Chain A
Amino acid sequence: KAGVTQTPRYLIKTRGQQVTLSCSPISGHRSVSWYQQTPGQGLQFLFEYFSETQRNKGNFPGRFSGRQFSNSRSEMNVSTLELGDSALYLCASCRYPGTGETQYFGPGTRLLVL
């Protein structure tokens, strides 16, 4: 069974630009969550989607947005990039949230903002 895939793996952008990251969950998984990992703040929760609905949102500015499609694939978008948005963005999937199911993480997208 294929794992969680994230594209692209690496991105370089400049301040003010926007970026879209993609996540394909494991087949049969309907829940997708996104996390931001930085050396200073560690792993922080961004969003959680289940059946195309946002179930939970972390404490991030409105520049960060996401969505989930009917095939459970998810995208997140960051507009007006800032230097502090440089991070590893991780996506995780599970079948049904709220039941203690294992969340499987993808390899991440490393974003560098110059």
Chain B
Amino acid sequence: AQSVTQLGSHVSVSEGALVLLRCNYSSSVPPYLFWYVQYPNQGLQLLLKYTSAATLVKGINGFEAEFKKSETSFHLTKPSAHMSDAAEYFCAVSDHQGGSEKLVFGKGMKLTVNP
């Protein structure tokens, strides 16, 4: 079965600092991995995804993530945080066996950006 671990629930960075959100996964099949962002009172918006192409994936708003099979990781980074990045971030793995697109989410990480 697929699972995702996001250690911790909150991270705080200064504006302009590096953002690093960690995600480790477990999957019995080659994984499809996703990062979603959720702003208050809104749904989820896809930041980026990995579906077995390039291991370094670039997404929207300057975010990128690197798939590392040996470490079963898919950490999200952004070189310079902006105030507008304050939101909750979810890592997810797709249970795509049998033609399903069920997403298994991590617990989420709330990002605070300090001026």
Residues in chain A within 8 A of chain B (CB atoms): 4, 31, 33, 35, 42-45, 48, 50, 55-56, 58, 90, 92, 94, 97-108
A106 to B45 CA separation, bound complex (whole angstroms): 9
A104 to B45 CA separation, bound complex (whole angstroms): 7
User: Across the interface, do B43 and A97 meet the contact criterion of CB distance under 8 Å?
Assistant: no
Given contacts A48-B100, A97-B100, contact A90 B49 (CB under 8 A): no
How many contacting A-B pairs (Cβ < 8 A)?
A: 73
Residues in chain B within 8 A of chain A (CB atoms): 32, 36, 41-46, 49, 51-52, 90, 92, 94-108
Given contacts A33-B102, A42-B108, A43-B90, contact A107 B42 (CB under 8 A): yes
A100 to B99 CA separation, bound complex (whole angstroms): 10
Choose from B44, B45, B52, B101 the contact partner of A97 (Cβ within 8 Å).
B101
A95 to B105 CA separation, bound complex (whole angstroms): 21
